[in-house]
Amino acid sequence: FVGNSTYLDDHGPPPQKVLPFPSQVVYNRVGKCGSRTVVLLLRILSEKHGFNLVTSDIHNKTRLTKNEQMELIKNISTAEQPYLFTRHVHFLNFSRFGGDQPVYINIIRDPVNRFLSNYFFRRFGDWRGEQNHMIRTPSMRQEERYLDINVCILENYPECSNPRLFYIIPYFCGQHPRCREPGEWALERAKLNVNENFLLVGILEELEDVLLLLERFLPHYFKDVLSIYKNPEHRKLGNLTVTVKKTVPSPEAIQILYQRMRYEYEFYYYVKEQFHLLKRKFGLKSHIRKPHPRPEFFIPSPLETEEPIDDEEEDDEKWLEDIYKR
């Protein structure tokens, strides 16, 4: 044994860097759910804690062909560990292509609020620059830009009806064509993936608690995240990216949205319940509210949550075309 250890001492591989567990994390961020806030924090955290933050410039391609999935999974899997990869992309099953399944994290938001934020952001941008939205959606015609939200919903414009409104679930359901079809199949598969592949899916309305849990579950990535988030310098940035010219649709229009988005709401309430169970388990108290009745039976006034830094706009025309081609 002594000889053997001497041999290893002389010829063995250099000691490997001890990696934290998990050392492969994917944040497949959902559009308009505060992910620019989180990515901004991750940039600061990656420098502070020395992990590899891998971001993507592709914002408008959430659904991939089989070859594109293989290529992306290969690229992610070969990144230097510990890494955190982030991109607007529907759930990818690494093990299907022989890769190690990473740990997933994500954040979602009340579906009507997410939709309204996206609707007005596409048209009018934010306070970062009056012309920002013109650059982002240059091909939008004036009559479309100033289309009244109530008209869009009540007269069933494509932007305000399915499949456009079926938006959050596919991020969790995955790349299967049926994940784009509003229905029970996609909903149940999304829930299953949340249970089996996601370490945490948080709720934007309770972002500080999301950050606290991320710090607890993934300290190598998120240690001190809350103090950075609460730093006045960082808070100042948020004010530049609040979506402008937002108006609240009529109760009738909101009721129609709720009916069209009933699967999105089933998923949202499921995730919220799981999130609150986790919070209780780790001693974080939720504000006690009466549970909502199911969406189709009430007319809510949209929650006015503080807008964290908004996501860059995604152009979703491409996936719409894909649906209509099928």
Confidence (pLDDT) at 58: 86
Domain annotation covers residue 119: yes
Is residue 7 situated within a structural domain? no
> What is the tens place of the pLDDT at every residue in 165-218?
999 999 999 999 999 999 999 999 999 999 999 999 999 999 999 999 999 999
Q: Which residues contact 81 (CB under 8 A, 6 or more apart)?
A: 19, 23, 24, 52
Asked whether residue 12 is domain-assigned, the answer is no
Q: Which of 49, 59, 88, 234 is catalytic?
A: 88
Q: Is 248 exposed, middle or buried (0-12, 13-18, 19+ CB in 10 A)?
A: middle
By C-alpha distance, which of 55, 129, 119, 81 is closest to 248?
119
Distance separating alpha carbons of residues 200 and 275, to the nearest angstrom: 8
Range picked from 13-27, 119-133, 149-163 for highest mean pLDDT: 149-163
70 within a domain of the structure (yes/no): yes
CATH of the domain at 249: 3.40.50.300
Indicate the number of domains in the chain. Answer: 1
Alpha helices in 218-316 (DSSP H): 219-222, 225-230, 232-238, 251-260, 262-281
Domain residues for 65? 22-282
Q: Does any domain span residue 228?
A: yes
**Predicted confidence (pLDDT) per residue in 190-203, tens digit:** 999 999 999 999 99
Would residue 2 count as lying in a domain?
no
**Bridge partner residues of 201 (DSSP):** 106
Domain membership flag for residue 316: no
Query: pTM value?
Result: 0.81
The angle at the Cα of 323, spanning 137 to 152, to the nearest 5 degrees, equals 50
* Selected residue with higher pLDDT from 303 and 91: 91
Is 88 a catalytic site residue? yes
Considering the domain boundaries, does residue 311 fall inside one?
A: no
Give the DSSP per-residue string, 277-297: HHHHHTTPPPPP-PPPPPGGG
- C-alpha–C-alpha distance, residues 147 and 150, integer Å: 9
- Give the other-Cβ count within 10 Å of 212's Cβ: 18
Cis peptide before 82 (omega within 30 of 0): yes
